[in-house]
């Protein structure tokens, strides 16, 4: 049964319902944070490890979305009245709870996504790091700031930051802890309420994180959750939100931008990627192979900042491929909750079929499979082997389209300029990597690559984990940034308040407009000479 089928499916008539992978009591406990009608239609999600039922969830309707926003607006006024440092203390308590209760969160993330536990742990730690960063740094960013007035000492100008109001977050399934919650943390710190629409497949994991936020001190009504497919709930959320944070595909991101633009509300969009990794001739081969393996197959390739294009200098291509393929072929594919797997399952039959279609299309048009290339139903219903292709050409789906699975293509280059040109030959510009012993050259190359984040001698974690710096995409990879000051201030409205003392801006002291203009010209010249900014 797929995630689009409801419990009333005739196949269940007269037969006992199969036991869901996630305990019913756990789901019931967490659903108290969702806004759903008592008589709501229900939907079964699929456990990727087995193809069985993960959970049975009630679906929110438009009235529920309206109720969630009304609740959030009422609660937001009280929440915004609390001090920023008080709100920051909530984030610090949440930081500790995430680490203390990680076992249940990791279990839920694995059961709903099929990912390896090491990938689930990566996003759980990321959640804690983001909470700590904004709790420690956010209050200073949000503090009112004095600016130089039009006339020094005579004009007092102060900038204030007000919350947007109610932020709508539409989150994907691939990182249900990180992408459902870490975008909410700065929004909450800034004094906003948040209505969260997690992907239906990973709703329970998102509710677990919301449950910890409530325990940490987020008041009732500040973070309601609505449940349902994005195609159904997304427009209702966008129509009511004062700001929208969306993570997902570029085509859907364009629709979000269109809808928010019509309403003249802001949005931040982290969209697709076809990310490139460059291996220079001077790179440490073994280290490069290890980095590339993680870059391509973390989260089974279902990672927007993962690597799908490998550009290797022709002088070291054979040596690199031998080391890289050795590592890829040693990856352990092991279904089930717990440690021990290097790569998990794809999330669904739809995702598996899309990945297989890219592989088969490439092979049919002449590409060579260096390793992998097959679905593995003997391991689990949605598993696909980690796959490395060579000879991929522009007419193949795997060349330009985002595969979003465990597939990478290998190319060679001769010069740094050629490598940069190849890396930039994409509509996307999300993430990239340069591997080299010459870090000075690596930095220079990084600046020429059209991507929002570029890592030198790492894959994606160095930039992503630097939460004080912004993260986001260029070109068709999105608008706006998460992390850093941009990731916080986007959830605020800036207000400038100026107080003019003694002398006004109009003509003074009985002078004519012409005389006053001449006086101001002298003053402005003097200010430049005095070094006034």
pLDDT in tens, the chain (533 residues): 333 333 334 344 455 667 899 999 999 999 999 999 988 999 999 999 999 999 999 999 999 999 999 999 999 999 999 999 999 999 999 999 999 999 999 999 999 999 999 999 999 999 999 999 999 999 999 999 999 998 888 899 999 999 999 999 999 999 999 999 999 999 999 999 999 999 999 999 999 999 999 999 999 999 999 999 999 999 999 999 999 999 999 999 999 999 999 999 999 999 999 999 999 999 999 999 999 999 999 999 999 999 999 999 999 999 999 999 999 999 999 999 999 999 999 999 999 999 999 999 999 999 999 999 999 999 999 999 999 999 999 999 999 899 999 999 999 999 999 999 999 999 999 999 999 999 999 999 999 999 999 999 999 999 999 999 999 999 999 999 999 999 999 999 999 999 998 888 888 888 999 998 998 899 889 989 998 87
Catalytic: which of 123, 270, 385, 402?
Answer: 270
Rounded Cα distance between 186 and 461, Å, is 20
Return phi, psi of residue 27, to 5°: -60, -45
Residue whose tokens read 């609740």: 71
Helix (H) or strand (E) segment spanning residue 522: helix 513-529
Q: Please return the burial class of 468, using the count of CB atoms within 10 Å of its CB with bins 0-12, 13-18 and 19+.
A: exposed
Return phi, psi of residue 205, to 5°: -60, -45
DSSP string, 393-427: -TTSHHHHS---SSEEEEEEESSHHHHHHHHT-SS
Return phi, psi of residue 199, to 5°: -60, 140
- The one-character DSSP state at 304 is T
Candidates 3.40.309.10, 3.40.640.10, 3.20.20.10, 2.40.110.10; CATH matching 275-472+479-485: 3.40.309.10
Rounded Cα distance between 264 and 261, Å, is 5
Q: Tokens representing 298? A: 């973390």
Rounded Cα distance between 87 and 456, Å, is 36
Q: Tokens representing 219? A: 């008041």
Return phi, psi of residue 500, to 5°: -95, 130
C-alpha distances out from residue 59 to 20, 69, 172, 511, Å? 17, 16, 17, 71
Rounded Cα distance between 309 and 432, Å, is 9
Rounded Cα distance between 245 and 187, Å, is 10
Rounded Cα distance between 386 and 328, Å, is 7
**pTM score > 0.85 for this model?**
yes
Topology at the third CATH level for domain 61-271:
Aldehyde Dehydrogenase; Chain A, domain 1 (3.40.605)
Q: Tokens representing 208? A: 């677990």
DSSP string, 243-272: EEEEES-HHHHHHHHHHHHHHT-EEEEE--
- Rounded to the nearest angstrom, the gap between the alpha carbon of residue 463 and the centroid of all alpha carbons in its chain is 13
Same fold, 61-271 and 275-472+479-485: no
C-alpha distances out from residue 360 to 53, 352, 399, Å? 29, 12, 13
Contact 254, 238 (CB under 8 A): no
CB half-sphere exposure, 102, CA atoms < 13 A: 16
In 82-225, alpha helices (H): 84-100, 102-113, 117-142, 184-189, 203-216
CB half-sphere exposure, 316, CA atoms < 13 A: 21
Q: Tokens representing 460? A: 């994606």
Residue whose tokens read 């949605």: 382
Q: Tokens representing 96? A: 């500790």
- Rounded to the nearest angstrom, the gap between the alpha carbon of residue 297 and the centroid of all alpha carbons in its chain is 18
The reported pLDDT for the residue numbered 49 is 97
270 is catalytic: yes
Rounded Cα distance between 391 and 370, Å, is 10
The reported pLDDT for the residue numbered 14 is 53
Query: For the chain, which residues make up each domain, given as ranges?
Result: 61-271, 275-472+479-485
Contact 48, 346 (CB under 8 A): yes
Contact 309, 425 (CB under 8 A): no
C-alpha distances out from residue 6 to 11, 31, 40, 56, Å? 11, 18, 11, 9
Contact 378, 388 (CB under 8 A): no
Catalytic: which of 304, 308, 385, 402?
Answer: 304
R_g of the chain, CA atoms, integer Å: 26
127 is catalytic: no
The reported pLDDT for the residue numbered 363 is 98
The reported pLDDT for the residue numbered 38 is 85
The reported pLDDT for the residue numbered 16 is 61
Which 3 state secondary structure label does DSSP give 219? coil
């Amino acid at each position: 049964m797929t995630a689009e089928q409801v419990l009333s499916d005739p196949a269940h008539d007269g037969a006992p319902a199969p036991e869901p992978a996630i305990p019913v009591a756990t789901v019931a406990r967490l659903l108290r944070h969702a806004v759903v009608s008592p008589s709501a239609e229900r939907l079964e999600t699929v456990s990727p490890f087995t193809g069985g039922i993960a959970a049975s969830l009630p679906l929110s309707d438009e009235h529920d979305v309206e109720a969630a926003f009304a609740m959030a607006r009422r609660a937001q006024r009280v929440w915004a009245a609390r001090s920023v440092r008080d709100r920051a203390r909530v984030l610090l308590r949440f930081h500790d709870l995430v680490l203390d209760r990680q076992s249940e969160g990791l279990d839920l993330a694995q059961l709903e996504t099929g990912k390896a536990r090491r990938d689930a742990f990566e996003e759980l730690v990321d959640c804690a790091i983001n909470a700590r960063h904004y709790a420690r740094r956010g209050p200073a960013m949000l503090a009112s700031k004095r600016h130089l007035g039009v006339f020094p000492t005579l004009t007092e100008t102060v900038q204030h930051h007000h919350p947007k109001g109610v932020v709508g977050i539409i989150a994907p399934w691939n990182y249900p802890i990180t992408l459902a919650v870490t975008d909410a943390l700065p929004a909450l710190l800034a004094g906003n309420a948040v209505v969260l629409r997690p992907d239906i497949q990973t709703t329970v994991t998102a509710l677990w994180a919301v449950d910890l936020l409530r325990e940490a001190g987020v008041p009732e009504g500040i973070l309601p959750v609505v449940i349902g497919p994005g195609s159904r709930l997304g427009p209702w959320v966008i129509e009511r939100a004062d700001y929208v944070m969306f993570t997902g595909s570029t085509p859907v991101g364009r629709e979000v931008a269109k809808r928010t633009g019509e309403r003249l509300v802001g949005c931040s969009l982290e969209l697709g990627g076809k990310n490139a990794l460059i291996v220079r001739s001077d790179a440490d081969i073994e280290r490069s192979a290890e980095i590339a393996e993680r870059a391509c197959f973390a989260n089974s390739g279902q990672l927007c900042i993962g690597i799908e294009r490998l550009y290797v200098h022709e002088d070291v291509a054979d040596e690199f491929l031998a080391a890289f393929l050795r590592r890829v072929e040693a990856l352990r594919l092991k279904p089930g909750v717990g440690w021990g797997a290097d790569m998990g399952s794809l999330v669904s039959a739809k995702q598996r079929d899309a990945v297989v279609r890219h592989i088969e299309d490439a092979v049919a048009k002449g590409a060579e499979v260096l390793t992998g290339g097959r679905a593995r139903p003997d391991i689990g219903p949605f598993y696909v082997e980690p796959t490395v292709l060579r000879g991929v050409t522009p007419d193949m789906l795997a060349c330009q389209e985002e595969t979003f699975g465990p597939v990478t293509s290998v190319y060679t280059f001769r010069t740094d300029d050629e490598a940069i040109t190849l890396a930039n030959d994409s509509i996307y510009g999300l993430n990239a990597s340069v591997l080299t012993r010459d870090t000075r050259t690596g930095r220079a190359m990084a600046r020429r690559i059209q991507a929002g984040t570029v890592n030198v001698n790492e894959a994606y974690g160095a930039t992503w984990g630097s939460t004080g710096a912004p993260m986001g995409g260029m070109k068709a990879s999105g608008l706006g940034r998460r992390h850093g000051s941009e990731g916080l201030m986007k959830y605020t409205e800036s207000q400038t308040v100026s107080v003019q003392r003694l002398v006004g801006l109009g003509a003074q002291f009985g002078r004519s407009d012409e005389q006053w203009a001449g006086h101001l010209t002298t003053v402005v010249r003097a200010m430049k000479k005095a070094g006034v900014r």
